[in-house]
Amino acid sequence: MIELDVRLPLAGFVLEVRARFESSAVAVLGPSGAGKTSLLEAIAGLRKAAGRIAIAGETVLDSERSVNLPPERRRVGYVPQDSLLFPHLTAAENVRFALQDGGRGAGIFDEAVSILEIGTLLDRYPATLSGGERQRVSLARALATRPRLLLLDEPLAAVDVELKGRILPYLLRVRDEMRIPMLYVTHNAGEAVLLAREALLLREGRVEAAGPTAELLSTRTLAAIDPLARFDNILEGLLEVPSAGETARLRLAGGAALRVPPSGGSGERAVYSLAPEDVLLAAHPLDRVSARNVLEGRVEGVDFGSGDALVRVLAGGIAWRAHVTAEAARELDLSPGRSVWLAIKTQAFRPIR
């Protein structure tokens, strides 16, 4: 559980965040310069803030009772956007740097190295690592402190497009296997939905909205305040690969199976992303189409923009986001409660592992 009541004067405005989160992962969204990074730094104790911060029941900051734990006693693992590895240390030395004295940390070192698959990078210096590799080492380093809370500042932003999705599965493993709560800054609503049950939307230092991720990000608020916001559908499930020549199936937690391009063997966990532009909506059942995925669903809501609309559809236990023109949305009479059919080509799913 994280309790925040933070006041922090920044260059153009005062960051004021009052929020309380129960879930283990919280997404922090908002346009660049909204104070997201400053908020993380305040929680880590790297910026002087006023107010109160409590992590898992322990107060780390309470300016009224003059409690202000130094960063080294907050047990918060901070992974900055640019990794900030120590350039004079190898990857292994960077991770070991975080181990607590006395050698008790050896187990966590091995665990972090294996979860993030950085075993082959250990002898290399940061200057020779790619952006994605650096982020993984930085994440392993943060984990090695056995933090009570992970602060992740756009862990995918500094990574090039091809590698972008590759960090995500690691984050899922950290969340599910190591059970470490996280605060996750991102511009991608899809990532937020996949990783976090709750979300915080910041704008110019103020809380624009806070609450369950799926509800929060289905409105156009995010698109309106953050031009960089992405609304990708992100799907996670188990792969089923039938005989050769057939498409692979992704079995979702809800039971539905999607036909996707193969990205691994049968029984493996996989994550795919799907752009909202690639979801076709139909008012009537579709018959004999080339798209391999046709699902019946119900419209949850429609957010009209200028000339376009973001439609939320519940189908197969998944909240889908489809991006269509405003004209199409009107012609199909898309409104909450309406039955629709989704058609998605197999090739539109991009594996991110």
Partner 1 sequence: MILPFGVAAAWALSRGRGAGNQVAETLLALPLVLPPTAVGLLLLELLRKSGPAGRLLDLAGIDVLFTWKAVAIATAVMSFPLLVRPARAAFETVDPRLLGIARSLGKSRLKAFWSVALPLSWRGILAGALLAFSRALGEFGATILVAGNIPGRTQTLALAIFHRTQIGQDEAAFRLVGIVAAIAFVTVWVTELLQRRREKREAGAP
Please, which residue, 101 or 287, has the CB nearer to partner 1? 101
Q: Smallest gap, in angstroms, from Cβ of residue 108 to partner 1?
A: 12
Q: Which residues are within 8 A (CB) of 342 and not within 5 positions of it... i.e. 6 or more apart?
A: 279, 280, 281, 282, 293, 294, 295, 296, 297, 313, 315, 320, 322
Least distance between partner 1 and beta carbon 104 (Å): 12
Q: Which is nearer to partner 1, 121 or 156 (CB)?
A: 121
For the CB of residue 73, give the shortest distance to partner 1 in the complex, in Å: 8
Instruction: Please provide the DSSP assignment of 58-85 as one string.
Output: EEEEEGGGTEE--GGGT-EEEE-TT---
CB of 142 or CB of 217, closer to partner 1: 142
- Amino acid at residue number 321: R
Nearer to partner 1, 100 or 347 (CB): 100
CB of 55 to partner 1, least distance (A): 13
What distance in Å separates the CA atoms of residue 119 and residue 99, rounded to the nearest whole number?
A: 17
DSSP secondary structure, 108-166, as one string: HHHHHHHHTT-GGGTTS-GGGS-HHHHHHHHHHHHHTT--SEEEEE-TTTTS-HHHHTT
Instruction: Compare residues 143 and 342 and give the one whose CB is closer to partner 1.
Output: 143
- Asked whether the beta carbons of 7 and 176 are under 8 A apart, the reply is no
Closer by beta carbon to partner 1, 55 or else 229: 55
CB of 44 to partner 1, least distance (A): 5
Shortest Cβ 99–partner 1 spacing (Å): 9
In the complex, the smallest distance separating the C-beta of residue 10 from partner 1, rounded to whole angstroms, is: 16
Helices (H) and strands (E) in the chain, counts: 10, 21
Residues that bind partner 1 (CB under 8 A): 41, 44-46, 70-72, 74-78, 80, 84, 86-88, 97-98, 100, 124-125, 127-128, 141-142, 144-145
Query: What distance in Å separates the CA atoms of residue 352 and residue 273, rounded to the nearest whole number?
Result: 7
Pairing of β 76-79 and β 50-55: unpaired
Nearer to partner 1 by Cβ, of 31 and 45: the residue is: 45
Q: Give, for 8, the enclosing helix (H) or strand (E).
A: strand 2-9
- In the DSSP assignment, the letter for residue 319 is E
Q: Which is nearer to partner 1, 146 or 321 (CB)?
A: 146
How far from each other are the two terminal CA atoms of the chain, in whole angstroms?
Answer: 30
Least spacing, CB of residue 82 vs partner 1, in Å: 9
Residues 254, 267 contacting (CB under 8 angstroms): no
